[in-house]
A and B are shown apart, each in its own frame.
Chain A
């Protein structure tokens, strides 16, 4: 039997990889993929807790997170397309619309 800690550590590792990717990569598409990876890591934590607490509410949470991820992917990719149409680039260094 695999312990709860093992699943939590795996989720933490995946989340950290995703966070590092968000901070280090400059390609908007890969940043989006890293966000998806972080959502997946959170899903893993929910499922692990739900299994070990023997309570199925976590599965419903994961269902909702998947819905939000799908909506976010659709809207985000639409934004990327429209930015690319105006700026001809997908690298975040060249996209500073709000002069941040």
Chain B
């Protein structure tokens, strides 16, 4: 079972990464990169890194890729407005509906067949859980943690200063 999941996630990750590199449109490339990150999160779960898997989806696929998509939106260079055909809109809504209903079906399956979902109740084994990693972060690695927060602060200030339009530019 574990081997099968590894092959599914690994092949999916490699495939979507290849699609990302070969794609011409940046939006499609970004979507494929999000796909890669979801597959990698699955592999992290296989490796018992539960906190990192959640962070992968929240930080990478959620925050960083949304930033990328915003910039692609801002720098929309070649694509023209008003060319969205009705068929394309139908396809978009259809794919969103299919993915959403898949999630709902899986959630209901987990309720109907509780044996299909294995819940780990053994609290002695806490490799990679939020509690264990958090304990390490706030004891052994407290100084790097604080330095990371300073790094983020510097990045925020730098990004704002770099991207803002100067007052004398506007005229």
A residues adjacent to B (C-beta < 8 A): 1-2, 6-7, 10, 13-14, 17-18, 20-21, 24-25, 27, 29-30, 32-34, 36-37, 40, 43-44, 47-48, 50-51, 54, 56-57, 59-60, 62-64, 66-75, 77-82, 84-85, 89-90
Majority secondary structure of chain A interface residues (helix, strand, loop or mixed) = helix
B interface residues, how many (CB within 8 angstroms): 60
Query: With A51-B49, A60-B144 in contact, is A74–B60 under 8 Å at CB?
Result: no
Check B60–A10 contact: CB distance below 8 A: no
- Output the least CB separation between B104 and chain A (Å): 29
Interface residues of B in 80-132 (CB under 8 A from A): 127-128, 132
B residues adjacent to A (C-beta < 8 A): 2-3, 6, 10, 13-14, 17-18, 20-21, 23, 26, 29-30, 33, 36-37, 40, 43-44, 46-49, 51-52, 55-56, 59-60, 63-64, 67-68, 71-72, 74-75, 77, 127-128, 132-133, 136-137, 140-141, 144, 148, 151-152, 154-156, 158-160, 162-163, 165
Q: Which of A18, A34, A73, A80 contacts B64 (CB 8 A)?
A: A73
Assembled-state Cα–Cα distance A29/B154 (Å): 22
Majority secondary structure of chain B interface residues (helix, strand, loop or mixed) = helix
Assembled-state Cα–Cα distance A73/B71 (Å): 11
Check B60–A18 contact: CB distance below 8 A: no
